[in-house]
Amino acid sequence: MVSDERLMERVKSGDAEAFDALWQRHGKAIFNFIYRFVGDRQEAEDLTQETFVRVLQNAPSFNSHQRWTTWVYHIATNLCIDTHRKAQHRQAVSLDECLGEDDQTLGDILPDPQANTEEMAQQRALRRDIRRAIRALPMEQRMVVLLSQYQGMTYQEIAEVMGCPLGTVKSRMHHALKALRAALKEWM
Amino acid sequence: MDCKNVQANLSDFVLAELNETDTLDIVRHLASCRACALEESETRKLTYLLGAWDAVEWRADLTRRIQTAAAQYLSLLGQNTSPADAEDISWRDRWNSLIEAVRNAQRRCAPVTYSMLVAAIVGMLLVLLKQPRQPVDPTLVFLAGIWWATVANGLFRLALSGEEPTNGAADGNKTKVDLRATTIAGTAAATAVAAMFIGANLLNVVEFVQQITKNTQVGNYVPVICFSAASLVVVALSISALEKMMPHRGRISGTLVGLIYSSVIVPLLYLANECRLDPVLGLCTLGTIAGAVVGGLLGDTFLNTKTISRAWREMEL
């Protein structure tokens, strides 16, 4: 399989197929990362589009010695942080307002023939509580949890994406898990 | 490890982010401490629970929107690529694949293995280039060590770590100082210099063996042992000081390389040097170790001074 970095080199010369391949490989994961961070599907789609536009805008300066995923998540992370700061500044939307039924998954909507109604309701409640607990974390801790738990990144990769020392990542993760344990106590 | 330490490291343990020694320490502790075992099980359960938040699907038109937005940029990128550029890209592609392969190999290597590999390559080159039985000029070796440490190793590490010397315009191109890589670079450079000495002495192997067999009395080894011990202290202190300044992984590797250098290589050098305590060579050796370590640090990071100062500030905070 052609590496992401090689594909990006081809994108630099205007290769649309290479760009599509990168989108197919990473689009869903990046969209979900952004979505979990901002909590709003429409905003997540806009930010995902903006991330990939920036990938193209900054393509000439991409250095294929670096990992493409680290680079693109760094862009996505910066966009999320900017959006978060602007939202905080406006103070227009509260966290709970983001928790509508908008972010139901297909599994939430379609009935699972194996599961009974009670189990489904419990799963939905668990997902809602996880979303609330994660979104209640401070921005940096939330970012670390999302990158580690849902994007499967190591601490070292997270440190590179967030541009902070490894020790800071460890400490944020420690505090985040502690807070999540307290918030999700009834499920444990 | 006591309960306090174990609980502070539990999240790293559950996420498999600890080194082997700490992991084993925690496993041992958990086997004997019920309270910590319960904490561990709850942390593990939490990470399992978090997995219940499934991925969501985007709306069908997102791919089309992105393709439309991308089309104009892609056409611009295509226009900017002249035939000469295309040739350049192909050349760059080949170079990048080579660097990528070396970088991947280096990522998989333990720091000590990496240092030893670098040392072996440099040593072999010296043996191949050296005229048979030509005496070694300590100044040349010293200069070669400094050159290797500051220029070649620094650039090599910069190339391998994929870091840009200055902050790029792109969001994702901001440089980061890699402290672990820096220490590895320092130890690699020190080992490389040691290898130069060995390489320079390899062709005198017959004399070397004769000297060892001649000098069988313990007294003859006293200067060697003293020098070795002093060298060991200097290297250990330097590495310890570096570790205090830069607390991160890789410290064990640095210490190991220092210990191997001091306890094995230095005595061998002196035996090769007819068991005489040569102050010039001694000073050169010490100077070269210091030069190589400092040079490795500088060479690796001298282009990233702003990032380094930021990293220091963050560490202080």
pLDDT tens, residue by residue, A150-178: 999 999 999 989 988 888 899 999 999 99
Give the N- to C-terminal CA distance of chain B in Å, as an integer: 27
Closest residue on chain A to B16 (Cα): A154
Measured in whole angstroms, how far is the alpha carbon of residue A113 from the centre of its chain?
A: 30
What is the interface size between A and B, counted as CB pairs within 8 Å?
A: 204
Judge: A62–B170 Cβ closer than 8 Å, yes or no: yes
For residue B282 the two structure tokens come to 């001694």
Burial of residue B308 (number of CB atoms within 10 Å: 0-12, 13-18, 19+): middle
- pLDDT band (50, 70, 90) for residue B253: very low
For residue A187, what is the DSSP state? G
Query: Which of A64-73, A93-102, B98-107, B215-224 reaches the highest mean pLDDT?
Result: A64-73
Mutation pick from B40, B45, B53 vs chain A, by most beta carbons of A within 10 Å, is B53
Q: Which fold has domain A114-188?
A: Arc Repressor Mutant, subunit A (1.10.10)
- pLDDT of residue B276 exceeding 50, the answer is no
Which has more confidence, B2 or B289? Answer: B2
Q: Of A118, A102, A2, A65, whose CA–CA distance to B173 is shortest?
A: A65
Highest-scoring range by mean pLDDT, B35-44, B113-122, B188-197: B35-44
Mean local confidence (pLDDT), B113-140? 52
Sign of the Cα torsion B134, B138, B141, B147 reads: negative
What pLDDT digit, counting tens, does each position of B171-183 carry?
A: 333 334 455 555 6
**In terms of CA atoms, which chain B residue is nearest residue A102?**
B56
Separation of alpha carbons A153 and A144, rounded Å = 9
Q: Which fold would CATH assign to domain A1-94?
A: Rna Polymerase Sigma Factor; Chain: A (1.10.1740)
Best probe of the B interface among A4, A65, A156, by most B CBs < 10 A, is A65
Q: Which of A23, A68, A25, A86 is nearest to A49 (CA)?
A: A23
CA distance to B59, B66, B71, per residue, from B63 (Å): 9, 5, 12
The model carries a pTM of 0.52
DSSP A57-88: HTGGG--TTS-HHHHHHHHHHHHHHHHHHHHH
Q: Give the integer Cα–Cα distance in Å for A154 and A132.
A: 24
pLDDT of residue B199: 52
CA distance A181 to B13: 16
Closest residue to B74, CB basis, from A14, A184, A188: A14
- With CA atoms as reference, the chain A residue closest to B89 would be A9
Neighboring chain B residues of A145 at a CB cutoff of 8 Å? 50
Q: Is the pLDDT of residue B266 over 60?
A: no
Token digits of residue A107: 């599994």
pLDDT at A188: 78
Give the C-alpha separation, B42 to B14, whole Å: 10
Lookup: tokens for A57: 């805008």
Count of Cβ atoms closer than 10 Å to residue B138 Cβ: 19
Longest dimension (CA), chain A: 54
Of B20, B49, B37, B18, nearest to A174 by C-alpha is B18
Q: Is the dihedral of CA B236, B237, B240, B246 positive or negative?
A: negative
The pLDDT of residue A82 is above 60: yes
Instruction: Output the average pLDDT for chain B.
Output: 60
Query: Cβ atoms within 10 A of the Cβ of B2, count?
Result: 9
Cβ neighbours, 10 Å, residue B118: 23
Q: In the block, which residue shows the tokens 């760059």?
A: B92
Q: Answer with the residue of higher pLDDT: A50 or B280.
A: A50
A5 touches chain B (CB under 8 A): yes
Q: How far away is chain B from the Cα of A88, in angstroms, using its nearest Cα?
A: 22
Find chain B residues with C-beta within 8 A of A180's C-beta.
Answer: 46, 50
Cβ–Cβ below 8 Å for A53 and B176: no
From first CA to last CA, the distance across chain A in angstroms is 41
Tell me which of B219 and A41 has the higher pLDDT. A41
Q: Give the model's pLDDT for residue B213.
A: 56
Cα radius of gyration (chain B): 26
Structure tokens at B125: 């080159």
Contact residues for B277 (Cβ-Cβ < 8 A; gap 6+): B223, B224, B227, B270
Q: Where are the domains of chain A?
A: 1-94, 114-188
Position B183 scores a pLDDT of: 60
Residues 6+ apart with CB under 8 A from A92: none
Nearest to A32 among B56, B99, B163 (CB): B56
